[in-house]
Copies of this chain bind each other. A is one copy, B any other.
Amino acid sequence: MFVEQITLPLADDLHVHLRQDHLMQTVVPLIDKGGAGRVLVMPNLKPHIKTTKQALNYQQALKALNPRVEYLMTLYLNPELTIEEIQKAATAKIIGIKSYPRGVTTNSEDGIENYEIYYALFAEMEKLGLILNLHGEVPSNAEKNICILNAEENFLQHLEKIHKNFPKLKIVLEHITTKAAVEKVEELGLTVSATITPHHLDLTVDDWAGQNHNYCKPVAKYPSDRAALRAVIKSGNPKFFLGSDSAPHLRSAKENSCACAGIFTTPLLLPYLADTFEKLNCLNKLKDFCCTFGREFYGLSALEQTITLKKISQKIPAEYNHIVPYRAEDELQWRIID
């Protein structure tokens, strides 16, 4: 069947980086243009979002820039976080606590090293229904043969251990990139799910070698890993849903001798996905991946406003105010129409 138009609710993008200052001002107005109506906002700002107060202030700033979008807020898991702060966060409808292993991505210098010190917090989160959002990579360690290629696979034991200890705690393993992660999330209980980015459905290691605009963390891996991500999307397993990990950086921070990690997909999020899902012959899975599975896992209401994607080609802009988008200047087969 030839599909040339799709209408679906605004998407839930359950993992975005909206940044601060100049970047924030450029990115936030583009969220709904890309087709998302609700986003889970990452807390790795400078300084990190560590308190409810900081999160609410940040949420206010985002709303002021773009009131058409709903912002789900998170706190940065850190040793200063108290049970009282977790309770305050839950009351303020902060939805998740994000854990970054130390040093593995942008602004994660004081990420966590040992999860057991957080068990009292996890117990409280489990009780209050807060989500644990895991950046699932262990730090590189040459002596243990751990590098960016197997950092995710080596993290899965931590995921499993936390889940065993807190079986009712809802956990999202963020931006998964490996067959091993797909299999582990499939294997564990219904309280464990995973986000998948648009770019990890497209790329392998060959695509980011020397190509900084395709360089993100976790890095895209083997073709067999990409195949596992594609297969689980096509299977319609509700444990796997959209989190774009859209991560804007200025062109100057990408095209140099030491590039920042991150791929910017916010302004064309749904057209990217429609392109990819069509290539994978699973356009019929697009709505659940973008609008149903994540929302249901998080316990959110359905968004009422809809968008329509039409099969009309468009050229991806070279940049948005000095931020180079994913697949810049390439052709997309789908666009959002009013």
* Assembly CA distance A295 to B5 (angstroms): 67
Query: Taking the full assembly, how many copies of this chain does it contain?
Result: 2
Residue contact A147 to B205, C-beta cutoff 8 Å = yes
Q: Does A195 contact B (CB under 8 A)?
A: no
Assembly CA distance A261 to B222 (angstroms): 20
Instruction: Please judge, given known A-B contacts A209-B208, A209-B215, A210-B215, whether A222 and B258 are in contact too, CB under 8 Å.
Output: no
A206 in contact with B148 given A256-B255, A257-B213 (CB within 8 Å):
yes
- Residues 246-280 (chain A) with a chain B CB within 8 angstroms: 254-261
Within 8 A of B (CB), among A15-70: none
Alpha-carbon separation in the docked complex, A259 to B254 (Å): 12
Closest B residue by C-beta to A208: B209
A249 to B73, CA, bound (A): 46
- Report whether B254 and A257 are in contact in the complex, using a CB–CB cutoff of 8 Å: yes
Q: Please judge, given known A-B contacts A140-B206, A208-B209, A215-B210, whether A223 and B145 are in contact too, CB under 8 Å.
A: yes
Q: Determine how close the nearest CB of chain B comes to the CB of A148; give it in whole angstroms.
A: 5
Closest CB in chain B relative to A142 CB, distance in Å: 4
Q: A142-B223, A212-B212 are in contact. Are A147 and B206 (CB under 8 A)?
A: yes
Shortest Cβ gap from A3 to chain B (Å): 25
Q: For chain A, which range describes its interface: under 10, 10 to 19, 20 to 34, or 35 or more residues?
A: 20 to 34
* Contact between A210 and B255, CB atoms less than 8 A apart: no
A219 within 8 A of B: yes
Chain B residues whose CB sits within 8 angstroms of the CB of A125 once the complex forms? none
- Residue of chain B at shortest CB distance from A259: B210
B255 adjacent to A257 (CB under 8 Å): yes
* Proximity string of chain A (210-239) to chain B, C-beta cutoff 8 Å, 1 when within and 0 when not: 111101000100111011000000000000
Interface positions, chain A 179-216, Cβ under 8 Å from B, are: 204-206, 208-213, 215
With A210-B259, A212-B212, A261-B210 already in contact, the answer to whether A204 and B147 are too (CB < 8 A) is: yes
- A261 CA to B211 CA, complexed, in Å: 11
Bound Cα distance from A78 to B142, whole angstroms = 40
Task: Indicate if the CB atoms of A258 and B219 lie closer than 8 Å.
Answer: no
Contact present for B257 and A149 (CB under 8 Å): no
Given the interface pairs A215-B210, A257-B324, the reply to whether A223 lies near B148 with Cβ below 8 Å is no
Interface centre among A142, A210, A227, A324 (most CB of B within 10 A): A210
Chain B residue numbers with a CB within 8 Å of A259 are: 210-212
Contacts of A324 in B (CB 8 A): 257
In whole angstroms, what is the CA distance A296 to B215 when docked?
43
Assembled-state Cα–Cα distance A8/B163 (Å) = 60
Contacts of A256 in B (CB 8 A): 255
Q: Which of B150, B210, B219 contacts A212 (CB 8 A)?
A: B210
Min C-beta distance of A205 to chain B, whole Å: 5
Tell me the smallest distance from the CB of A172 to a CB of chain B, in Å: 24
Chain B contacts for A146, CB-based, 8 A: 223
Top 6 A-B pairs, shortest CB-CB distance: A210-B259, A142-B223, A145-B224, A210-B215, A145-B223, A147-B206
